[in-house]
Amino acid sequence: MTIRLASPLVRFSAFGLLAVVLPAAILAVLGYVSLRQWETSAELLFREQARDLASMTTEKVEMLLSHTEDEILSRIEALLRRPDFAPATLAEVAATAPLIGRLYLVDRGGRILFPAALAGEEAGVVSKLLVEISQGFWERGGRRHVVVGDQVVLAAILRARGTPLLVALSRNPEVLRREILEKTLRAVEGPTIIAVLDDRDRPVYARAPLEGAERIATASFGAALPSWRVALYHPHGMSPRAAIRRQATVFTIAFGLLLVVIVAGLVVTYRLVKRETEMARLKADFVANVSHDLKTPLSLIRMFGETLEMGRVRDEAALQEYYRVITRESERLSRLIDNVLDFSRIEGGARTYDIAPTAVESLVRETLDAFGYVLAQEGFKVEVTVPPDLPKVPMDAGAVGQALANLVDNAIKFSAERKWLGVGAHIQTGSLTLTVADKGIGIPLAELEKIFQKFYRVGRSETQGRRGSGVGLALVRHVAEAHGGRVTVESRPGEGSRFTLWLPLRREAG
Ligand code: ADP
């Protein structure tokens, strides 16, 4: 009876593929697609928010600027309204309003009332300004920003005693930067960098260094600051794309780790299933082998018993032969049943050992006596080396005798043409060694470790054609270890094997 190995393992692999690899692949694809979508929509949302923030900022700057300029103009207006107004009093306003770069007062005839004297390039500024001011503006009054050269001038028509006068003021760029831009932009919160750029895209003011930063949105100012713009930047590595890339990396690593764990779990499970399947096969073989082993001696005993019962055999030598066969086969049966029973006791943890000083020589002889007939019949040359002066050694005589019998039984079973059995007992480095050697079929190197496992047999029992249950050596090892010793093997295929049971001369505590 055999259990097909392939089918559960193939099923398991198919299950692993379907239950893990397929969902993992789907998850990876979905994860990738949704990350891409997320990246796109996050980018859009970010840009939209940035645009809103930029235009809000321009409004704030413009509000503060026009508020400051309004204040200056109202102060000038108040001065102009005074009956004793003298243009020189404007100097006080110019001195106390830091935003004012230059302040001019011009009458309709183009006469410059303030300041008293103009530097060379200032005259040019005023004349350019006058060109920009239309007659209608003189009539209507009001205020407007005029670009003169590279500066913005606030021009307003105010009246002094009914006469329209042009008040023009340019801004102090440093104060504009410090008092207007910095004050407004500093208050804007968020991870983005906010900056004001001039007409040539040079930063007039920036809240943080712009190196490596990526511009995401801009918004233009109105007439108060024409050709200047508010720009928003992502600091280096802080763009939503970079953030999502980082997320994707974390996700990929976590996913990879998860896969590794799942695959490791699968491999462990696969090995467990494989081992269990192997064990199930070995157990099935064990039952078949034991049944077979029980049947052979039983049928021999029965056949010879029946023949004897019929009373047809009269020859004394033949009679003796029949009796020996019956005795030998019943011994073999007992050994087998003892092995199976002991094995089940060991498995159930119920095997106990009764250790007492034992004479080694008699133990060896008694064990070999049980095989005397088989050895003689099969033509074995037996060499026994047991020094007569061996001390008594503490051991469970029954268990060690059984272990030795298993080794001898194997040596006989696994011998081919060269029938030789060597049994020896020696004292070596604090241990008694019991050696059983043969010149039989030997054991391949790769199998040497495995043969001590329960149910394990080299090759399949059918092909090997030798009876056996696969628990003999497992028992030998258990007996050795229970005595604080061990069992070793040297073997070469085709040359023979040598098993050595090491039993310590002194029982160690525990
Ligand atoms: P079995 O009942 O098969 O003998 P054992 O546990 O005693 O079980 O041995 C396990 C396997 O080890 C055997 O099936 C055989 O393949 C191998 N083996 C044991 N002893 C020998 C030996 N003396 N020579 C060659 N092979 C051996």
DSSP state letters, 394-429: EE-HHHHHHHHHHHHHHHHHT--SS-EEEEEEEEET
What is the pLDDT at residue 180?
A: 92
Dist. CA 284–CA 460, nearest whole Å: 12
Atom 16, ligand 1: residue with shortest CA distance:
458
C-alpha atoms less than 13 angstroms from C-alpha of 437 in its C-beta half-sphere: 16
- CA of residue 459 to ligand 1 center, whole Å: 10
Atom 20, ligand 1: residue with shortest CA distance:
410
What is the pLDDT at residue 7?
A: 66
- CA of residue 470 to ligand 1 center, whole Å: 7
What is the pLDDT at residue 483?
A: 93
| Residues 285/464, Cβ–Cβ less than 8 Å | no
Low-confidence ranges of the chain (pLDDT < 70): 1-8, 460-465, 507-510
The DSSP letter of residue 89 is G
| Residues 9/274, Cβ–Cβ less than 8 Å | yes
Q: What angle do CA 162, 168, 174 make, to 5 degrees?
A: 150
Cross-strand pairs, 154: 145, 169
| Residues 507/329, Cβ–Cβ less than 8 Å | no
Quick one: tokens of 501? 């049971």
Given its phi and psi angles, is residue 465 left (phi above 0), alpha (psi -120 to 50 degrees) or beta? Answer: left
Quick one: tokens of 267? 């491999």
Q: Which of 296, 404, 452, 457 to mutate to test the pocket of ligand 1 (most atoms within 8 A of CB)?
A: 457
What is the pLDDT at residue 462?
A: 40
Dmax (CA) of the chain = 169
pTM comes to 0.56
CB count within 10 Å of CB 232 equals 26
What is the pLDDT at residue 461?
A: 46
Dist. CA 414–CA 492, nearest whole Å: 13
- CA of residue 433 to ligand 1 center, whole Å: 20
Pocket around ligand 1: residues whose beta carbon is below 6 Å from it? Answer: 406, 410-411, 414, 438, 440-443, 451, 456-458, 468-474, 497
What is the pLDDT at residue 509?
A: 44
What is the pLDDT at residue 6?
A: 55
What is the pLDDT at residue 246?
A: 86
